[in-house]
Structure 1
């Protein structure tokens, strides 16, 4: 892991196409601006786990009868 210190207005480059600029540091929070090509996915780390869980849930095979049973339970 690389650890850097940057002040407001300073930037860092990731490869040739991604630039991260520190916009503000206030009350223990940092505002960042990220300039990258549209083909680069930018995702908050806490959402990465949610995306993976969603993919895994979508891949699970559940029989239609089992799904109907769940719906019936919710209706009651």
Structure 2
């Protein structure tokens, strides 16, 4: 697992720019994110998808954002998924 620290308006780029996550706002223990991804890539909060992505390890409220899980999650695999 990779853990990154970002401030408001800073970004995380995934798969050579295919997916960009921007921290829009941090307020009182909540983080608002903007996710720019191709329509072919499914993005859901873990509690909505019914999966155990990013389950909280404490009683702290956690909103997780998850994308499609691709074995070997490389940029080329994601691009193949988008182009399909």
Higher relative helix content: 1
Using structure 2 for the length normalisation, give the TM-score: 0.56
1:14 corresponds to: 14
Query: Which structure's CA Rg is the greater one?
Result: 1
- Between the two proteins, the alignment pairs up a number of residues equal to 50
1:61 corresponds to: none
Q: Which structure has more RCO (C-alpha within 8 Å, separation ≥ 6)?
A: 2
Using structure 1 for the length normalisation, give the TM-score: 0.62
Deviating runs (4+, > 2 A) in structure 1?
none
Unpaired runs of 5+ in structure 2? 52-84
